[in-house]
Amino acid sequence: MQCKRLKITGVVQGVGYRAWAKRLADMLNVKGYVRNMPDGSVEMVVCADEKIVNVMINAAKKGPAASVVKNVEAFDIDFQPKEGFEIWM
């Protein structure tokens, strides 16, 4: 299982990004979390097989309809995920 930390910037808070990410992660059986960051970005940690992680990265670049994603940076991360995908506050 591969884990990546994504930093998503643009208009990504207040547009349903976290709920959208959770729905997609649950459909793909991805483990990890998503949360809003103080700088206006969204942080997402995704853990799954490499192909599914890449699907999540590509989806994150588009985001939900109300978002305007400017950039997605992906970093390798050593993370021990719990079961499921959570929205962190």
In a domain, 31, yes or no: yes
In a domain, 46, yes or no: yes
Four-point Cα dihedral 47, 22, 73, 13, nearest 10: -160
In a domain, 86, yes or no: no
In a domain, 68, yes or no: yes
35 a catalytic residue: no
Specify the CATH number for the domain of residue 67: 3.30.70.100
The pLDDT > 90 percentage for the chain reads: 93
Q: How many secondary structure helices (H) and strands (E) does the chain include?
A: 2, 5
Q: What is the mean pLDDT of residues 45-63?
A: 97
In a domain, 62, yes or no: yes
Whole-number pLDDT of residue 19: 98
Q: Classify residue 78 by its DSSP letter.
A: -
- Write down the catalytic residue from 5, 18, 29, 54: 18
Q: Which domain holds residue 71?
A: 2-81
> Do 69 and 10 touch, CB atoms closer than 8 A?
yes
- Given a cut of 90, whether residue 83 has pLDDT beyond it is no
- Write down the catalytic residue from 23, 29, 35, 36: 36
Domain count, the chain: 1
36 a catalytic residue: yes
Q: What is the mean pLDDT of residues 48-66?
A: 97
Q: How many CA atoms lie within 13 A of 19 on its CB side?
A: 7
In a domain, 8, yes or no: yes
Whole-number pLDDT of residue 81: 83
Q: How far apart are CA 13 and CA 6, in angstroms?
A: 15
Whole-number pLDDT of residue 33: 97
At 82, list the tokens: 């719990």
In a domain, 89, yes or no: no
Q: What is the mean pLDDT of residues 57-62?
A: 98
Q: What is the mean pLDDT of residues 53-71?
A: 97
